[in-house]
Amino acid sequence: MKDFIIPPLDDRDMGTPARTGEAVTLTIDGFEVKVPEGTSVMRAAAEVGISVPKLCASDNLEAFGSCRLCAVEIEGRRGTPASCTTPVAAGMVVDTQSAKVRKLRKGVMELYISDHPLDCLTCSANGDCELQDMAGAVGLRDVRYTAPEGGGLANHFTARDTSGQANPEWLPKDDSNPYFTYDPSKCIVCSRCVRACEEVQGTFALTITGRGFDSRVSAGDSSADFLTSDCVSCGACVQACPTATLQEKSVIEMGTPDRSVVTTCAYCGVGCNFKAEMQGDQVVRMVPYKHGKANRGHSCVKGRFAYGYAKHKDRILNPMIRDTIDQPWREVSWDEALSFAANRMRGLQDTYGKKSVGVITSSRCTNEETYLVQKLTRAVFGNNNTDTCARVCHSPTGYGLGQTFGASAGTQDFDSVEHTDVAIVIGANPTDGHPVFASRLKKRLRAGAKLIVIDPRRIDLVKSAHVEAAHHLPLKPGTNVAVVTALAHVIVTEGLMDEDFIRDRCDWDEFQTYADFVSAPRHSPEAIELLTNVPAAELRAAARTFAAGGNGAIYYGLGVTEHSQGSTTVMAIANLAMLTGNIGRKGVGVNPLRGQNNVQGSCDMGSFPHELPGYRHVKNTDVRDVFKEAWGVEIDPEPGLRIPNMLDAAVDGTFKGLYCQGEDILQSDPDTKHVAAGLAAMECVIVHDLFLNETANYAHVFLPGSTFLEKDGTFTNAERRINRVRRVMAPRNGYADWEVTQLLANAMGAEWAYTHPSQIMDEIAATTPSFAGVDYALLEEKGSVQWPCNEDRPEGTPLMHVDGFVRGKGRFIVTEYVATDEKTGPRFPLLLTTGRILSQYNVGAQTRRTDNVVWHEEDLLEIHPHDAENRGLKDGDWVRLASRSGETTLRATVTDKVSPGVVYTTFHHPDTQANVITTDYSDWATNCPEYKVTAVQVGASNGPTDWQEDYAEQAARARRILPAAE
């Protein structure tokens, strides 16, 4: 019971998880109740509003039966069974309030309190403590246990006894974790934290050590503290703790919150809902929202704790301008900054033509903001020069799934995983990149589902606590198409495909062509073994497991898309799903794990240069007419420039001005030197961001941005789920991002007059068929909806392609493997692939400005012991990492997680600039960069490269800010 919160919805804890099954009728305290078979007596009681006292039960954990407070009496049964562990039975007559159980509860509470410090008034859980609540609920008025003379009363909360002797049962507080503390003296050993770590998060970092009175919660063995343990700081234990034992440091410092607002996390594409718990406009803590449909009450270290960047000192709160990038910044008023920017952009267009300027929309900003930015270029600049960071991550997903299925998005919701029997995870590392989804997948794996991992690295899912992949195919980077096509080869040649599904749902002629293609011996596992390094027998076994294993779901990430054949792999995956009939129901599907919170939304909103909102090509007159009608301007029928084209054009001198909202292309895009050259060649770069990011080093105008806490809007997650983002505090910079874009547009002569993002959503709905039914009222009512949401599907679409593919018949597309031009050789014998780590996010602009840095202070290069030995490298050595594009230095970590011949690093830190190394190769269809394959050499080094030193110097110079003019 969290009595200080006014819940927006009923988020009472029902005690035990919901069940499904035949209805059973029973009587509790004279009230008749009908619940599904398998429901606990406790939950059944809660259904009729009767709260049986409890401490160890929670409805996100299986019943445990340890606290014994929830005892009830049942007619015809002996004793006082625990209501949490007793399932209902038809006709059962339960008494939750008999004199016997009332006395028992009081007796148990008396024992609890006899081992608990009575410092409630100064306790950090004061007002938020279930132990306190239960002591009240059972009417405990006296604790009669006292010490015998000459002896002590055994307890865990006094450091020393009355004679000054140290109490061996007392343990000091562990505050090693930056976000929460573990105070053993407050612990009631209910095991909720341990169970949450196991059942919800699936990390198994916590345990109970000792037995009897010595039972203690412990993060691993007794020598480990929380920080050095396996704990991933997801917060599930803190949330589960009924007392002050595991407590957010922010609550300890600030006190209990007085209100809460449900909003959506601004990190990865899982799109977790959180309750921002507030005091006034101060966030006390972020708590995962129980009714969040993507996260179902779970969270990771980023969403749960890493929101402090909003108040970081580096945050820029005032607009700034400068004439040239070698000058220091000058803080100016919004008016001055906007007119400076507007004049420059208009001037550039006057001089160099209408198409000499463009925009980059942000996958971190809201749908409404993204919509306005592309509207800015289309309606105000008068061209289609808009692109987004999806270009560098999931553009092949949009293309590949659009071609095969007819819709550029994942087919499922996250709940679907609960029905999966065999999952393929390819080119994704969910435990780090999409942790909350990973926890949901691991839960299903622990329940018996099988897992096939296709990844060059031995990611944690391959083998971790109580999870082990049935097959791991450690392919050579760049050979996805060969491997996935070989899986299809096995399925087709061994007759394992779902012919009924194919005949019914797909184009049979195209399938015939495809089947002929894929059956060719050159696609057999044996034929590609040398090329991919994947043992043929293992690949065959994996194919059989997937084809014959029941509901098969494929989850993939940027390890699929960020390749020269990224789009081809997406299509190969789609083929595999159609081949095995794994589309159109729960538990199956093709599921791209989106990198950023709103990358799906930014694509939906028309961020691409060739597509208007809703993936409709600009060449189509009817589509342009819709927007002409709405915006009152002609839409350019020619597609605009993609990001790489903008940069090329800038170097060529034809592209001169850029408005870049919420993206750091200099750090995140490939071939940093080329990006830098392109930016340097522009005459007006407007960066709209929270911080002076790397791109801002080349900017002339800096417009301060707002965080997700400071604005209203919507994010669309990887499930196509449109989630509400709600303003919990005023923008520290003065304006929400949509307001800034509107101000800029109006400074350039537009006459936009939006007063709330809901009006922007109304415009989106009016112009975009898949959003036709969406408005803020519906989102308030439903919490969230998944597009398409329109007349046909007024409540949205959890599963796509249920009765037929969006495009009609599913289309098999031939997927010939073509090796990337990026090849290893004597100069660059190793393959570099890149990825993400749990505690950091993308370029790290946010997470590096939080305490998450304790887990990842710098990017490290993973290298196999053989390769390290050959080069005389040891763990922790500085190494030089070089490709034909450039070189950088970082420290090495020697691990067999990577195969020999493969090295791996993250790109979270600008000091490393991993993208100095990556090349300009890209996906043939979408230009998505080939981040995941770069031929490199690694050698010993003394420290930073010249490039890094030059860069650091330039960055420092570019970030100078003059004091504001008085």
User: What is the smallest separation between the CB atom of 73 and another protein, expressed in angstroms?
Assistant: 10
Total residues belonging to the chain = 966
User: What is the smallest separation between the CB atom of 89 and another protein, expressed in angstroms?
Assistant: 11
Q: For residues 113 and 676, which CB has a smaller minimum distance to another protein in the complex?
A: 113
Q: How far apart are CA 68 and CA 111, in angstroms?
A: 11
Q: Strand, coil or helix: what is 65?
A: coil
**Apex 735 CA angle, 386 and 381, nearest 5:** 25
Q: For residues 85 and 759, which CB has a smaller minimum distance to another protein in the complex?
A: 85
Q: For residues 152 and 900, which CB has a smaller minimum distance to another protein in the complex?
A: 152
Contact 428, 557 (CB under 8 A): yes
Q: For residues 65 and 255, which CB has a smaller minimum distance to another protein in the complex?
A: 65
Q: How far apart are CA 281 and CA 502, in angstroms?
A: 56
Q: How far apart are CA 850 and CA 846, in angstroms?
A: 7
User: What is the smallest separation between the CB atom of 101 and another protein, expressed in angstroms?
Assistant: 8
Amino acid at 240: A
User: What is the smallest separation between the CB atom of 211 and another protein, expressed in angstroms?
Assistant: 5
Q: For residues 209 and 282, which CB has a smaller minimum distance to another protein in the complex?
A: 209
Q: How far apart are CA 793 and CA 98, in angstroms?
A: 50
Q: How far apart are CA 405 and CA 809, in angstroms?
A: 8
User: What is the smallest separation between the CB atom of 25 and another protein, expressed in angstroms?
Assistant: 20
Q: For residues 185 and 567, which CB has a smaller minimum distance to another protein in the complex?
A: 185
User: What is the smallest separation between the CB atom of 144 and another protein, expressed in angstroms?
Assistant: 5
Q: For residues 19 and 871, which CB has a smaller minimum distance to another protein in the complex?
A: 19
User: What is the smallest separation between the CB atom of 119 and another protein, expressed in angstroms?
Assistant: 19
Q: How far apart are CA 709 and CA 731, in angstroms?
A: 8
User: What is the smallest separation between the CB atom of 79 and another protein, expressed in angstroms?
Assistant: 7
Q: How far apart are CA 315 and CA 307, in angstroms?
A: 13
User: What is the smallest separation between the CB atom of 493 and another protein, expressed in angstroms?
Assistant: 31
Render the burial of 892-910: b for 16+ CB within 10 Å, e for the rest.
bbbbebbbebbbbbbbbbb
Q: For residues 152 and 347, which CB has a smaller minimum distance to another protein in the complex?
A: 152
Could you please report the per-residue DSSP string of 468-492?
E-SEEE-PPTT-HHHHHHHHHHHHH
Residue 475, classified by CB atoms within 10 Å of its CB into exposed (0-12), middle (13-18) or buried (19+), is buried
Written as six digits, the tokens of 51 are: 């709260």
Amino acid at 565: Q
Q: For residues 54 and 344, which CB has a smaller minimum distance to another protein in the complex?
A: 54
Residue whose pair of structure tokens reads 């909806």 in the numeric block = 785
CB-based contacts of 360: which residues, under 8 Å, 6+ apart? 386, 387, 388, 389, 643, 658, 659, 660, 661, 663, 665
Residue whose pair of structure tokens reads 């001198």 in the numeric block = 653
Spell out where 7-99 has E strands: 23-28, 31-36, 73-74, 93-95
Q: For residues 55 and 764, which CB has a smaller minimum distance to another protein in the complex?
A: 55
Give the binding site for another protein (CB under 8 A).
63-68, 71, 79-80, 82, 84-87, 100, 103-104, 107-108, 110-112, 114-115, 144-149, 151, 153-154, 188-189, 191, 207-208, 210-215
Q: For residues 41 and 873, which CB has a smaller minimum distance to another protein in the complex?
A: 41
Q: For residues 63 and 837, which CB has a smaller minimum distance to another protein in the complex?
A: 63
Please report how many Cα atoms fall inside a 13 Å half-sphere around the Cα of residue 324, on the Cβ side. 3
Between strands 860-863 and 902-906, the pairing is antiparallel
Could you please report the per-residue DSSP string of 197-255?
IIIII----EEEES-GGG-EEEESSTT--TTTSS----SHHHHH-SSSSEEEHHHHHH-
Residue whose pair of structure tokens reads 């909202």 in the numeric block = 661
User: What is the smallest separation between the CB atom of 154 and another protein, expressed in angstroms?
Assistant: 5
User: What is the smallest separation between the CB atom of 192 and another protein, expressed in angstroms?
Assistant: 13
Q: For residues 64 and 501, which CB has a smaller minimum distance to another protein in the complex?
A: 64
Q: How far apart are CA 491 and CA 548, in angstroms?
A: 10
Q: For residues 218 and 883, which CB has a smaller minimum distance to another protein in the complex?
A: 218
User: What is the smallest separation between the CB atom of 92 and another protein, expressed in angstroms?
Assistant: 13
Q: How far apart are CA 698 and CA 683, in angstroms?
A: 10
Residue 119: its H or E element:
none
Q: For residues 204 and 878, which CB has a smaller minimum distance to another protein in the complex?
A: 204
User: What is the smallest separation between the CB atom of 418 and another protein, expressed in angstroms?
Assistant: 18
User: What is the smallest separation between the CB atom of 35 and another protein, expressed in angstroms?
Assistant: 16
User: What is the smallest separation between the CB atom of 104 and another protein, expressed in angstroms?
Assistant: 5
Residue 457 carries which DSSP code? B
User: What is the smallest separation between the CB atom of 451 and another protein, expressed in angstroms?
Assistant: 20
Render the burial of 677-714: b for 16+ CB within 10 Å, e for the rest.
ebbebbbbbbbbbbbbbbbbbbbbbbbbbbbbbbbbbb
Beta bridge partners of 833: 904
Q: For residues 146 and 942, which CB has a smaller minimum distance to another protein in the complex?
A: 146
Which residue from 705, 706, 711, 786 is spatially nearest to 754, judged by alpha carbons? 711
